[in-house]
Amino acid sequence: MKLTKKLFALLLALALCLSLGVCALAAEEDAETVDAISAVTSFTKTYVTAGGSGLVAAPAETLSFTVKSTGYPEKFTGDADALLAVGDGNTFEVDGETDIYTIPLTFNGGSTEGLAVGLYYFTVTENDGSSQGTAYGTGNAGSILYVTVLVEHSADDYETLIASIYLTDSTYTTKYEGLENTYTLGSLTMIKTVSGNLSDASDVFLVDVTFSSDLPVNSAITYDGAEATDTTAASGTVTLTADAAGGYTAAVTIAVTNDSEVLFSDIPAGVTYTVQEQDYTQSDINDANDGYDSPVYTVDADSVVTGSGAAQVVSGAIEAGDEDTVAIENTKGIEVKTGVSLESLPYILVLAAVVVVAAVLIIRKRRVED
């Protein structure tokens, strides 16, 4: 490491003397070689969204960073760890409105007071957050930026100035623009059908949907395709909030009719859900919007149905890129009596054949007697 830093310092000195860029080693994909002419005062934080509707850019969360000095000029006598600051006190607020953020870097508060000329080395590490569905440090740079600050004397008046700040990899040869996180989302589709000779396609069924998470969910789940009633909406958002058990939950009741297809979008990976239709089996078969058989649930392989009758509940979890489906079918009808049991029909036919044969024999006997 010491040899690498000395080589980097020599290259910077040559670049300043000759006004040329530093020769770079082979760069990694999506990265540039270090340019000794340019300097930065910030870095980018990019969120890559996997799955979902495309309307969610990032979770609203507070990012935190750990800054550590890994080298500085011998003549510097201050607290090197405190020289470099990220954002506001090594934190940064992500508002969830976009997918790229610019995070400021401040060296020594923008002042040259107390500095010694030379190279200052730091690591800036993004700490793993707690937002459900977010993977931290997924880009080429991982979770760590290696920051080099060049402090020198000006050529004109020999005043100390901050010349350049570089963001690189651990070899100090490949430059990065910033860090990347991946926000993974999935969806849940609920399909409703009714069947039976006494069912009514206009009957309205209420379904309770609950989402749960052990981590904060920092973006809203959206839904669309439900029926609007006096107490329910056709579309809307679901926001998980802290519950008494230390987790995060949200519940919504939606109304559906025959052929309804309700899509819940932008559910962060790791969120679990339950789906339960309210009871429509209690009344007489002639009652409106009731008297149905117990619902039949059809679910994906990774979801389960527990309970029996009208108390059945579907449980599932959203994994990376999941598009889960829950289908609910209600049947209402009776068997129409035709007067003839199909099970008895063969015997009736045999009996009829016997009667016909007997009649033929009797007629023949009479003709012979005549």
Predicted pLDDT of residue 172: 84
**Could you tell me the pLDDT band of residue 335, with boundaries at 50, 70 and 90?**
confident
Per-residue model confidence (pLDDT) at position 241: 97
pLDDT reading at 10 higher than 80: no
pLDDT band at 31 (very low <50, low <70, confident <90, very high): very low
In terms of Cβ atoms closer than 10 Å to its own Cβ (0-12, 13-18, 19+), residue 142 is: middle
What is the pLDDT at residue 30? 36
What pLDDT shows up at residue 173? 83
- From the list 155, 96, 80, the residue with the least C-alpha distance to 131 is 96
pLDDT at 16: 39
What pLDDT, in 10s, does the model give residues 136-176?
A: 999 989 999 999 999 998 877 788 888 888 899 998 888 99
Q: What is the CA radius of gyration of the chain?
A: 36
What pTM value is reported for the model? 0.78
**Cβ distance 120 to 72 under 8 Å?**
yes
pLDDT tens per residue, range 275-305: 999 999 988 888 889 999 999 999 999 899 9
Mean pLDDT calculated for residue range 330-334: 93
- Identify the pLDDT of residue 110: 87
Written as one letter, the residue type at 125 is T
- Beta strands 42-50 and 178-195 are parallel
Q: Find out whether 24 and 173 touch, Cβ atoms under 8 Å.
A: yes
Please report the pLDDT score of residue 32 as a whole number: 38
In 3D space, the residue among 260, 257, 178, 264 whose CA is nearest the CA of residue 219 turns out to be 264
Dist. CA 200–CA 46, nearest whole Å: 51
Query: Tens digits of per-residue pLDDT, 248-262?
Result: 999 999 999 999 999
Q: What is the mean pLDDT of the chain?
A: 86
